Structure 1
Amino acid sequence: MKRFCLALDLVNDPNLIAEYEAYHQNVWEEIKASILGAGIIDMEIYRIMNRLFMIMETEDDFSFTKKGEMDASNPKVQEWETLMWKYQSALPIAKEGEKWLLMDRIFKLV
């Protein structure tokens, strides 16, 4: 199993943040299926103010490239991603169109 940690910001508006959280309390079933189908075993998202932190646990052969290809060909995922951009704000270092950015681990206790 692999673990990935990613970061993303939200638009700094309390109403939009509340809407974003509401969507994530009832994620569309097609989105959950696409996540699991890509080899993601578990996913958690945490928030402080408008900063998001995602932890993904994946199968050993998980590939962001393969997931991106699967997402690009899935109309429901594209609909979800377009909707989520209303709430999300790319990190300042993100390239055009990038959302979630991988974080580097700098410490591990054991």
Structure 2
Amino acid sequence: MQRFCFALDLKNDPGLIQKYIEHHQNVWPEILKSISDAEIIDMQIYHVADRLFMIMETTDDYDPEVKAEADRNNPKVQEWETLMDTYQKRLPFAAEDQKWIPMEKIFSLKEAESETF
């Protein structure tokens, strides 16, 4: 299993943020299928103020490039991404075509304990 963590901001507008949350309480079935078809076992999105944090757990066979290509060729995923883009704001250092920014793990309790004990 692999774990990926990402960050993204939302436009700082309470109404838009609420609509974004509502969309994620009713994700389209085609989007759910595209996620599970890509060897993604679990995906969770957390929210505070206008910041989002996503944890994605995948099989060892997950390939982000394969998922990106499948998404580019899936009209329903493109429709969803266009809709979500109305709510999302890229982090200041993101590339023009980059929304979710990968985060680097800097601490693990399990790893720290195994090194200490």
Which band: TM-score by shorter chain? over 0.9
In structure 1, runs of 5+ residues without a counterpart are: none
What is the distance in 1 between the residues matched to 2:30 and 2:68? 16
1:36 corresponds to 2:36: yes
What is the distance in 1 between the residues matched to 2:97 and 2:82? 11
Q: What residue in structure 1 maps to residue 11 of structure 2?
A: 11
Q: What residue in structure 1 maps to residue 50 of structure 2?
A: 50
TM-score normalised over the length of structure 2 = 0.93
Letter in 2 for 1:71: D
Q: What residue in structure 2 maps to residue 25 of structure 1?
A: 25
The Cα shift of 1:109 comes to 0.4
More helix per residue: 1 or 2?
Answer: 2
CA RMSD of aligned residues (A): 0.4
TM-score normalised over the length of structure 1 = 0.99
After TM superposition, where is structure 1 displaced by more than 2 Å over at least 4 residues in a row? none
In structure 2, runs of 5+ residues without a counterpart are: 111-117
The Cα shift of 1:2 comes to 0.4
What is the distance in 1 between the residues matched to 2:48 and 2:27? 20
Structure (1 or 2) with the larger CA radius of gyration: 2
